[in-house]
Copies of this chain bind each other. A is one copy, B any other.
Amino acid sequence: MASASELMLLGTAESPFVVRVRMALHMKGLPYEYLQQDLFDKSDLLVSSNPVHKKVPVLIHGGKPVLESLAIVQYIDEAWSGKAATILPADPYQRATARFWAAYADDKLYDAYVGINRAVTEEGRAAKVVETLAAVEQLEAAFAQSSNGKPFFAGNSVGFLDLAVGCHLFWLETMGKMSGVEFVDTGKTPLLAAWAKRFGETEPAKQAVPELDVVVEYAKKRRASRAAAAAAAAAAATAN
């Protein structure tokens, strides 16, 4: 049984990957100490725990760092395998499929929606909106295949792929608000839209997902600072 002092999570409020880990910790009913990080002024603990990438989330268990959110979720499931709900499915084929789509969510969906906020031109932004919509449509098909008519990706209750995709929902909502686009749409992706609503009402999501207004404010600040940097670079190029 873990005590909060032997389990620490280094994170930021807006990181979907941190939210994913918090949801997994909640599913297992594990108490932990949360240490909010400033990525613009990285703590010694973050740098020494993850010297390769210097990124959050980092889970520190009994003094040992566990890195990369999907590996952390699997670690939580395996290290506390007898406790509460299991996160990964038991069947090897379902595990492989869940791992495939989890990687898809992080590679394609995340890159696409983060790209909306990183783009410095309207054309660039529009292209990333299209990419995000395409990734969500792929996940609609994945949901149909994986859930097999049941309410969650993993079947009757929340599992690995629900956490892996579900942690991105509040960012899709944030980018949707800022772009005027409904990414998870009851018309185009009805299964995913119904799942998103159900998932948002689960305890892990309610405990871990930040307030949308906070994320929108964060995203606006990041966008503004990127636009300012791009404008400064353009001005410097003209001056030369």
Contact = CB atoms under 8 A, between A and B. Distances in A.
A75 B94 CA distance: 9
Nearest to A64: B93
Interface residues of A, number: 22
A interface secondary structure, majority: helix
Interface in A72-87: 72, 74-75, 78-79
A228 interface: no
Interface stretch (A5-13, A33-41, A96-104, A194-202): A96-104
Interface of A: 52, 61, 64, 66-68, 70-72, 74-75, 78-79, 92-93, 95-96, 99-100, 103-104, 138
28 contacts: A52-B104, A52-B138, A61-B93, A64-B93, A66-B93, A66-B96, A67-B96, A67-B100, A68-B99, A68-B100, A68-B103, A70-B99, A71-B96, A71-B99, A71-B100, A71-B103, A72-B96, A74-B95, A74-B96, A74-B99, A75-B92, A75-B93, A75-B95, A75-B96, A78-B92, A78-B95, A79-B92, A79-B93
